[in-house]
Amino acid sequence: MTQSIFDLPGRFWRGNLHTHSDLSDGVLSPAEVCQRYQDEGYDFLALTDHFVGEYNYPIADTKPFRTDSFTTILGAELHSGAMENGELWHILAVGLPEDFAPSHSPSFHPVAGQETGPELAQRAWDAGAYVAIAHPEWGGMSFGDANSIKAAHAVEVYNHTCGVDCDRANGHYMLDQLLTAGRQLNLCATDDAHFSEPDSFGGWVMVKAAENTPQALLDALKAGHYYSSTGPDFTGIVWEEDRVTVRTSPVKAVIVQGKGSHSFCVHGTDMTDTEVPLERLRGSPWMRITIVDETGHRAWSNPVYR
């Protein structure tokens, strides 16, 4: 098992990794988007506008909106080439340099001569970004598509806008298939907020880092030192050979998932210190945890590996 993030130095910082402004198809200015997240109590934000020619390939300069208690990480939602269903790739890249070279992506429609999605993801990875496979359910992504992205840190398993807009918020099935195929990937929950509908403040990450600075947060994201949430919180996870102890804010269910049908759930009321036996998870090369609170909101740990 990997070292528990709860034993690492530092504290947890709440942030959103996927957001849009009026530099692309959002409706608010970058300054207003940052202010709204700061007012909501977030510690950091990645503004990730669509990196296509019709918007002049924006990487929003959010550095002026950093304060002593709120920071930003530069990034973009990258697009290039066609998936198996003919639609354009969407790849989340957080931590891009400001001079990241544009792809040949004039619009949201694939054109001849473009980089492929895997090539663009690799270029973002090589430039130092945290790379996530964005909203696989929303785009109708196939397993072959997802597995072709070798330069990825995570799969977006919850996208709030995709849930609000078309009830296609999830990526858990894709993540689990990739894990079962031997990939070692983390997961993330995001907003993908455009502020044209009630699509903000619905999914976030809680990153364990020594300080709330762009580089410390980015390093922690790449290392998997975070969990993802739509409401409840993890306060501790202790893995043992035959059980896992999960400490949380009050929840009604603690679920451990693994390969295929391997899973086990403990149900209750206002549970905060829950022991889950792992007998049914024997033989699974990976495991991850979901917690569910009384309102139905969820949080997810990153996977661990045997």
Residue 138: φ, ψ to 5°: -60, -45
Secondary element (H or E) of residue 277: strand 263-277
Strand, coil or helix: what is 275? strand
**DSSP secondary structure letter of residue 248:** E
The pLDDT tens digits of the residues spanning 76-93 come to 999 999 999 999 999 999
Report the pLDDT value the prediction gives residue 160, as an integer from 0 to 100: 98
Q: Are 47 and 64 in contact (CB under 8 A)?
A: no
Q: Are 264 and 281 in contact (CB under 8 A)?
A: yes
Alpha helix segments (H runs only) across the chain: 30-39, 117-126, 143-148, 160-166, 172-180, 214-223
Which residue is associated with the tokens 């598509």? 145
Count, residues in the chain: 306
- Low-confidence spans in the chain with pLDDT less than 70: 1-2
Which residue is associated with the tokens 């977030």? 42
- CA pair distance 26, 39, nearest whole angstrom: 19
Alpha helix segments (H runs only) across 114-269: 117-126, 143-148, 160-166, 172-180, 214-223
Q: Are 48 and 76 in contact (CB under 8 A)?
A: yes
Q: Are 30 and 21 in contact (CB under 8 A)?
A: yes
Report the pLDDT value the prediction gives residue 104, as an integer from 0 to 100: 93
- CA pair distance 165, 163, nearest whole angstrom: 6
Report the pLDDT value the prediction gives residue 1, as an integer from 0 to 100: 65
The residue among 153, 103, 145 whose CA lies nearest residue 123 is 103
Cβ-in-10-Å burial (0-12, 13-18, 19+) of 127 comes to middle
- The CA–CA distances, whole Å, from 268 to 201, 272, 281 equal 27, 10, 21
Range 255-258 contact pairs with CB under 8 angstroms and sequence separation of 24 or more = 255/289, 255/290, 255/291, 255/292, 256/281, 256/287, 256/288, 256/289, 257/176, 257/287, 257/288, 257/289, 257/290, 258/284, 258/285, 258/286, 258/287, 258/288
Which residue is associated with the tokens 């033989």? 283
Q: Are 183 and 161 in contact (CB under 8 A)?
A: no
Map out the domains of the chain with their CATH numbers.
5-229 (3.20.20.140), 234-305 (2.60.40.10)
Report the pLDDT value the prediction gives residue 9, as an integer from 0 to 100: 95
